[in-house]
Amino acid sequence: WSFAPELVGTEAFIKAMAQYDIVTSLAHTDAKYDDAKRRMEVDLHEIKESTFEPDPDKCYKPVIYLYPEEPTDVSVKLDYEGTLTCTYPKYESGWNVTAHPDGSITDENGITYNYLYWEGENGMECDFSEGFCVKDEDTAAFLEDALEKLGLTRTEANEFIVYWLPLMQENPYNVISFQTEAYTEGAVLEIDPNPDSLLRVFMAYYPSDVAVEMEAQSFTPFERVGFAVVEWGGCELAMP
């Protein structure tokens, strides 16, 4: 394993891994910093798989990308019908940041982020009148195709998939529906200046031991124009 120079130090590496629920414990040897490659390298042993399981009452990892046409001071406020359980950078009465055309975000302290992150608990009732039933081995290919049709870039889709795929691929089937009104009405975004184009992708799914027949969901093409804002997130529901 290797990681960026700002995480120099094995303890920092362990903490970084734990943030993503990849491992719960590990042992290491031969930690060293490679000056030429500008990275820390460490051999890991005795990795114990995480026991993390999604809470069915939580919206997990909604992330908000900001893409202005030029560096712009942006205010983002979230009116959420629930309780925020984690935000990064920290959400006070809102996020006030400088957004750049490449998608990078800088706060008032000069710290740079790839996106705004939040997580919360609420009692959202999801709509499964339309959707998809996907076999375990087909999950990755399905997500790649669906996210492209929804309008995510390859980078955005990759970040979505690497978060959700490990939680889905061992289920015999995943019953999936991308939410619109049910999600956006309970998590209203107020963005200043107002974006020219806004895409909010929220996947709800539940595992199933058997195939479920349902009407296929259709997607509306998304056109990125001007100041574009993109958000994705999801939740796992208990099997009915």
CA angle 152/154/159 to nearest 5° reads 85
Query: CA–CA separation, 165 vs 169, rounded Å?
Result: 6
Q: Are 73 and 100 in contact (CB under 8 A)?
A: no
Q: Is the pLDDT of residue 210 over 70?
A: yes
Q: Is the pLDDT of residue 173 over 50?
A: yes
pLDDT tens sequence across 107-117: 999 999 999 99
Confidence of residue 8 (pLDDT cuts 50, 70, 90): very low
Q: What is the DSSP letter of 94?
A: S
Q: What is the pLDDT of residue 30?
A: 57
CA 121, 83, 21, 88 torsion-angle sign = positive
Compute CA 25 distance to the chain's CA centroid, rounded to the nearest angstrom.
24
CA angle 48/51/56 to nearest 5° reads 160
Q: How many Cβ atoms sit within 10 Å of the Cβ of residue 49?
A: 9
Mean pLDDT score, 99-111: 96
Preceding omega of 62 cis (within 30 degrees of 0): no
Query: CA–CA separation, 3 vs 38, rounded Å?
Result: 9
Confidence of residue 180 (pLDDT cuts 50, 70, 90): confident
pLDDT tens sequence across 157-170: 999 999 999 999 99
- pTM, entire model: 0.77
Query: CA–CA separation, 200 vs 204, rounded Å?
Result: 13
Out of 9-18, 90-99, 124-133, least confident range? 9-18
pLDDT tens sequence across 19-52: 444 444 445 555 565 655 555 566 555 545 445 4
